Amino acid sequence: MRTILKIFQTGEPVLRQRARELTAEQIRSQEIQHLIEWMRETMYEAPGVGLAAPQVGLSLQLAVIEDKPEYLRDVAESVLKERERKPVPFHVIINPKITQQEGEAEFFEGCLSVSGFTAIVPRARSITVHCLDHKANQRTIEARGWYARILQHEIDHLHGTLYLDRMHSSTFMTLDNYNRHWKEKPVSEVLKLLPAPRLR
């Protein structure tokens, strides 16, 4: 039987706390292994490409990630190329640390804990992450493009940060309005049409 967890929405204190690290013994425990599977099912149900433990109410440095091939099926080839987006198999990151980042890319980004909204968020284009996997083995991940964005988004969750803290606030909008007015436009054009307000 599948277990679908509640996804906490912005305003919940757990989403603004720095999560605690897990020991190798804790990672290998039945409790954490069950949690990983439940988070996986919850991510699929949403659906999303990543889910961090604080989003299900647990202040732990653990996140699950997968960008399925079927999620890319209805995305224009030009958009996939611009975002450097390719399928990413399921995996777990625990106690992750970004040790290197290069370049910058700006794209619309959403979050399962800020349901129904999106905004343009600047992120590093490529990063290196050191973490533990679901068996507590050391792992180094080198990622670029959309995968690097997913990793940065989920690692932010583990430090109490939401994309709301990094976004271009003038581009914050409902998903309905994004699909109606902005979906087909290049990010550079959106930023020209929705410039940051000038301070008096």
> Given the DSSP bridges, would you call strands 126-132 and 117-123 parallel, antiparallel or unpaired?
unpaired
DSSP one-letter code for 178: I
| Burial class of residue 162, CB neighbours in 10 A (0-12, 13-18, 19+) | middle
* Contact present, 87 and 69 (Cβ < 8 Å): yes
Kindly tell me the number of DSSP H helices and DSSP E strands found in the chain: 7, 8
Query: Is 77 annotated as catalytic?
Result: no
From 25, 102, 142, 154, the catalytic residue: 154
- ∠ CA 112-114-119 to the nearest 5 degrees? 105
Which ranges constitute the DSSP H helices of 120-160? 145-157
Catalytically annotated residues:
154
